[in-house]
Amino acid sequence: MRAPAASSAMGSLLFLLGVLQLLAAARAAYKQWIPNTNFETASNWDKERVPCASDVIHFEKNKVLSVFVGSPHTVKEMFLPLNGELLLAPGAGFAAFDGSWDSGCGSGAVLRFADAEQRSWFDPALWQDVSPAGGREPAGRIFSVDEERVPCQYDDVIFQPETSFRVNLDSSQPVIRLRSISLMGQELSSAEAWAEYLGGPLAPRQFHGNGTLQVTGARCPHSSGCACGNTQDGHRICASLLGAAGCPALPCQSPLRPLGHCCGVCGAVVTLDFTPDFDLQKYQDRVVQAWLSLPKYEGVQMAISKVHSAQTFLGLFPRGSVPVIQIVLVDGGAGEQAGTAAQQLATDLVGDIAQHGAALGISSSRMEVATGSTLGGHAGGRTARRIAAGTVLGLLSGLLVLGGILFLYRKGKLSPCPQPPCSCGTSLGGSRAGNIPRWGFGEGVTWGCSPQAALLGCSEFGGRAIERRCFWLGFLLLWVNGQPVPGGLLPAATESP
């Protein structure tokens, strides 16, 4: 009687595991390398066409190269590299040209194979997001900041079957981590399988540069997501993406610069502090279903991911970083309307977090906006940072002045002012102005009794110039040395006899 129940439970368990695997696959990021070094790809030749029978074919003699040939070709003459290979598909090959006229080729020309050495792993333009089956993902409402357009540490990388390629792996990272890599139709998802492939004859002609790919087979272990891990090579990504052109001009005032993005944007950036209960995928689905599907937000796109936000001491000195969730919202608005729809969506999200943040695993949120409107400008964190920076700079300036004065005093550069040749009375409780310590810069600065000192019971003026700085330095050094300052002491104006 127990066997059927056990069989049913086992079947349910297997079904559940299958569902979980499908969900994991759906959430995984697959990035496919776009260029190739195939013989039949027209863009691989300097004449932008595939060689024909009466052409002379040149491969650079000293270039390391792997070229996939997918069909048979007739050639007049071909110069091959010293260190290269031709990968022939079934039925593919080369035959010698017999001199017969080819109407589609004419008299022929010299065709040179393009240089693939500079195709960088960290060029976002050379990658595209694809489905697990390898089909290109349709453009939607979700986009990625530039650093995440290149494979991240938990992504799956696909090189198309029946293609050859060459990738420059120059990197600032010790290793470039991936979850898996697919080459020639074979998926490698373990360190052992990848090490075996690297030891074969193909890898040296496919990958070059100082970087090292490392296949881990691991997926991101956190429901809150994982940082991409390409920050160290952010400068390479931006250099590849922008070239000498730089960032384009934008219609908004003071564009925002999201973390991991090469250029500024018009729109909004919402930053979330999260708890262990936060689920990045669920929250993304919530935003897409509840807001991005509304007609008023039709032109808004969103990038959402975990990033590391730098922390500072007093707003100036770096002290590590903390993980946060960054939401970047952009729209297609022009002129004064640029960024306004994104601003409204950001306001809606922050309002929703204020009501439901605890249930969503969000502890706090802050928003920055940049729009084309002169009234929009920035909001939230940017203004607060300006105020905080001004306060901190003022405080630091004061501390530097105090420290400088104390340093001069300790070094003996500040000396007491000579006693004035005046005598003072004993009014106001018997205090004597002549007993007040006097300080100044050097021996040539003097202190005397001023007419205002009559408030302290002084009736005479000694005839020497009174320097206001003596008062303030005396007051400061009394405070620094912990000495009591006489009550009722007022600064004396500079006087002359």
Looking at the chain, the whole-number percentage of residues with pLDDT higher than 70 is 67
Q: Does 476 score more than 70 pLDDT?
A: no
Q: Residue 473 has what DSSP assignment? A: H
Average pLDDT of the segment spanning 415-431:
42
Q: Does 490 score more than 80 pLDDT?
A: no
Can you list the positions of beta strands (E) in 97-139? 110-112, 127-130
What is the distance in angstroms between the CA of the first residue and the CA of the last residue of the chain? 119
Beta 30-33 vs 156-158: how paired, if at all?
Answer: parallel
Backbone angles phi, psi at 15, to 5 degrees: -65, -45
pLDDT at 465: 40
Write down the H helix ranges in 69-200. Answer: 191-198
pLDDT tens per residue, range 290-337: 999 999 999 999 999 999 998 876 656 677 889 999 999 999 888 888
Question: Higher confidence at residue 486 or residue 183?
Answer: 183
Q: Which residues of 78-98 are buried (b: 16+ CB within 10 A; e: fewer)?
A: beebeebbbbbeeebeeeebe
Q: How many CB atoms lie within 10 A of CB 347?
A: 15
Q: Does 28 score more than 90 pLDDT?
A: no
Residues 6+ apart with CB under 8 A from 42: 48, 49, 50
Band (pLDDT 50/70/90 cuts) for residue 98 is confident
Average pLDDT of the segment spanning 363-371:
96
Q: Does 10 score more than 50 pLDDT?
A: no
Amino acid (1-letter code) at residue 127 = W
Band (pLDDT 50/70/90 cuts) for residue 181 is very high
Backbone angles phi, psi at 156, to 5 degrees: -105, 130
pLDDT tens per residue, range 243-257: 888 999 999 988 999
Band (pLDDT 50/70/90 cuts) for residue 168 is very high
Q: Does 399 score more than 90 pLDDT?
A: no
pLDDT tens per residue, range 274-295: 999 999 999 999 999 999 999 9
**H/E segment holding residue 333:** none
Question: Higher confidence at residue 2 or residue 382?
Answer: 382
Q: Does 62 score more than 70 pLDDT?
A: yes
pLDDT at 319: 74
Q: Which of 21-35, 38-52, 374-388 has the highest mean pLDDT?
A: 38-52
Looking at the chain, the whole-number percentage of residues with pLDDT higher than 90 is 57
Q: 234 is written with which tokens?
A: 């952010």
Q: Does 138 score more than 80 pLDDT?
A: no
Q: Which of 121-130, 293-302, 353-362, 448-457 is predicted least confidently?
A: 448-457
Question: Higher confidence at residue 62 or residue 477?
Answer: 62
Q: Which of 42-46, 264-268, 477-481 is predicted least confidently?
A: 477-481
Average pLDDT of the segment spanning 59-63:
92
